[in-house]
Amino acid sequence: MCNLYSHTSNRQAIIDFVKEVNRIHDSVGNLEPQPGIFPDYAAPIVRNTAIGRELAKVRWGMPSSQFALMQSAKKRAAKLEDKGQVVDFAELLKLEPDSGTTNVRNIFDPVKGRWNQHWNRWMGVENRCVVPFTSFSEFDGTMQDGKKRGDTWFALDESRPLAFFAGIWVEGWTSVRKVKTGVETADYFGFLTSEPNDVVGAIHPKAMPVILTKPEEVEMWLSAPKDEAIQLQRPLPDGVLDIVAVGVKQDGA
């Protein structure tokens, strides 16, 4: 699971790569480099909106499924009941914290031939986005010199050129993100993952982000019908990507 990435490119490079960006949201500002982007951080995306493509900064982590929140609430209720507390489960579920889902995988089941109910609502063109990045990290738990190797950073090459994750976004979602902040309403995004290629799989065998490296791939993700766009949920070819840093929480600063 990719829960850390960097973006150290610039606003003009994004606009030059993604065609027809006709609006820059106030949140973007000067778009300073972000060498370490963590879950729930605001980061740049290019999103489809009712008035065209917009470059905006949005918080990372799509709403989790109702099933996941239900399971979390049940566990919390059980702990409270073990302490002798009376639980109003409906209220508990309503206020269950949702830290968000950063990586989206099971959108379509090819065996059953059906779309995932939770994610399908955001697979229309209007909820698609692309997420600019220059490198991303997967955690390596193997030991070296008595300690874990830690975050391993991948990029297209040592120069860390601009590329994009295939993403989805949601506008004005109301939830409890953190207990201390309570109910809040905000826009959120996440990006798709797939099986890893050999470079990422050697470190993280479960998944890698869906990466778009060509303008035509970005255009396809942002504009094609979902049955066509979902074809982009695939790994990069083997041999593509380099390891550019190891054991640090930021890259390209």
DSSP assignments along 147-197, one per residue:
EEEEEEEEESSTT---EEEEEEEEEEEEEES-TTT-EEEEEEEEEEEE---
Judgement on whether residues 18 and 115 belong to the same structural domain of the protein: yes
170 domain-assigned: yes
Each as own residue / partner, the long-range contacts of residues 74-82 (CB below 8 Å, 24 or more positions apart, any chain) are none
> Whose CA is closest to 152, among 241, 253, 217?
241
Judgement on whether residues 78 and 164 belong to the same structural domain of the protein: no
Judgement on whether residues 87 and 132 belong to the same structural domain of the protein: no
CA distance 209 to 140: 16
Judgement on whether residues 107 and 90 belong to the same structural domain of the protein: no
Q: Are strands 183-194 and 52-60 parallel, antiparallel or unpaired?
A: parallel
Judgement on whether residues 187 and 91 belong to the same structural domain of the protein: no
Judgement on whether residues 91 and 102 belong to the same structural domain of the protein: no
**105 exposed, middle or buried (CB, 10 Å; 0-12, 13-18, 19+)?**
middle
212 domain-assigned: yes
Judgement on whether residues 107 and 119 belong to the same structural domain of the protein: yes
- pLDDT the model gives residue 85: 81
CA distance 218 to 241: 18
CA distance 164 to 145: 35
Judgement on whether residues 84 and 138 belong to the same structural domain of the protein: no
233: CATH: 3.90.1680.20
- pLDDT the model gives residue 61: 97
Residue numbers of the chain with a pLDDT score lower than 70: 92, 253
Judgement on whether residues 196 and 88 belong to the same structural domain of the protein: no
Q: What is the pTM of this model?
A: 0.92
CA distance 31 to 10: 7
Judgement on whether residues 16 and 88 belong to the same structural domain of the protein: no
- Which residues span the domain enclosing 74? 65-97
183-226 pLDDT, tens digit each: 999 999 999 999 999 999 999 999 999 999 999 999 999 999 99
- Into how many domains does the chain fold? 2
230-243 pLDDT, tens digit each: 999 999 999 999 99
Task: Determine contact, residues 132/14, Cβ cutoff 8 Å.
Answer: yes
253 domain-assigned: no
Judgement on whether residues 27 and 124 belong to the same structural domain of the protein: yes
